[in-house]
Amino acid sequence: MPGHGASSPVDGDVLAKIASAVSAALRDLAPGRLHLVGHSFGGAVAARIAAAQPSRVASLTLIAPVGLSRQMSRDFLVDFVAAERRRPLLNVLERLFADPSKITNDMVEGTLRFKRLEGVPEALTAIADTIAGEDGQLLSIRETLAGLNCPVMLIWGEQDQIVPVPDAGTLPANVTLRILPDTGHMPQMEASATVNQAILENIRKASQ
């Protein structure tokens, strides 16, 4: 995905470019019906793809996605981009988890290696600037989700410090919200079995 891993950098309309790249890959790798799952900014990417290809997307499961409220920790994005050494990065990564003991040495070292790749700081800055400004989140996927006919589930950690749980009353009526206790911004890591089960439940709804 552009701007991630060892992929090429991304600028301009970051969300549109990443969604386009993922869509192209999916056409080649998975030409049939899709069950999309996206986390954080990836949730906005998955929602954009679902809206662009509604006939192909059978279900959509978003884990702590951006775009459903104004609230967000902009400081996390800034600090993550700026962290160049192990201790500062560890302090930033700890904000992702309700239980910081989930952070492994491999995770920290792997993230440091990734951030040192050529073009990565610039790509991360472009993505951060797309997600949030000084006054909060800049993206909205609310109308996008409301226009979908497939099953849509949101999975959120109750203790998410990065993208706080939105008010359920403000969500589109076609969306199911699952809030997990004792979990931060990384439910797929802190409560993997529960998240996997929830994803399967949403996939099954597509065949009902």
What was the pLDDT predicted at 4?
Answer: 54
pLDDT mean across residues, the chain:
91
Q: Write out pLDDT tens, residues 130-147.
A: 999 888 899 999 999 999
What is the token pair recorded at 64?
A: 């702590």
The domain 14-205 is placed in CATH, from the list 1.10.240.10, 3.40.50.1820, 2.30.110.10, 3.90.1570.30, at: 3.40.50.1820
**Is residue 4 within 8 Å of residue 38, measured between CB atoms?**
no
What was the pLDDT predicted at 23?
Answer: 92
Q: What is the largest CA-CA distance in the chain?
A: 50
Q: Does position 10 have pLDDT exceeding 80, yes or no?
A: no
Q: Does position 7 have pLDDT exceeding 70, yes or no?
A: no
**Cα angle, residue 190 at apex, residues 6 and 114 outer, rounded to 5°:** 15
Question: Residue 183 carries which DSSP code?
Answer: -
The separation between CA 101 and the C-alpha centre of its own chain, rounded to angstroms, equals 22
Q: For the chain, give every domain's residue range.
A: 14-205
Q: What percent of the chain has pLDDT over 90?
A: 75
What was the pLDDT predicted at 88?
Answer: 95
d(CA 105, CA 123): 24
Q: Write out pLDDT tens, residues 95-122.
A: 999 999 999 999 999 999 999 988 888 8
Q: Which residues contact 103 (CB under 8 A, 6 or more apart)?
A: 90, 93, 94, 97
Confidence (pTM):
0.91
Q: Does position 12 have pLDDT exceeding 70, yes or no?
A: no
Q: Write out pLDDT tens, residues 48-64.
A: 999 999 999 999 999 99
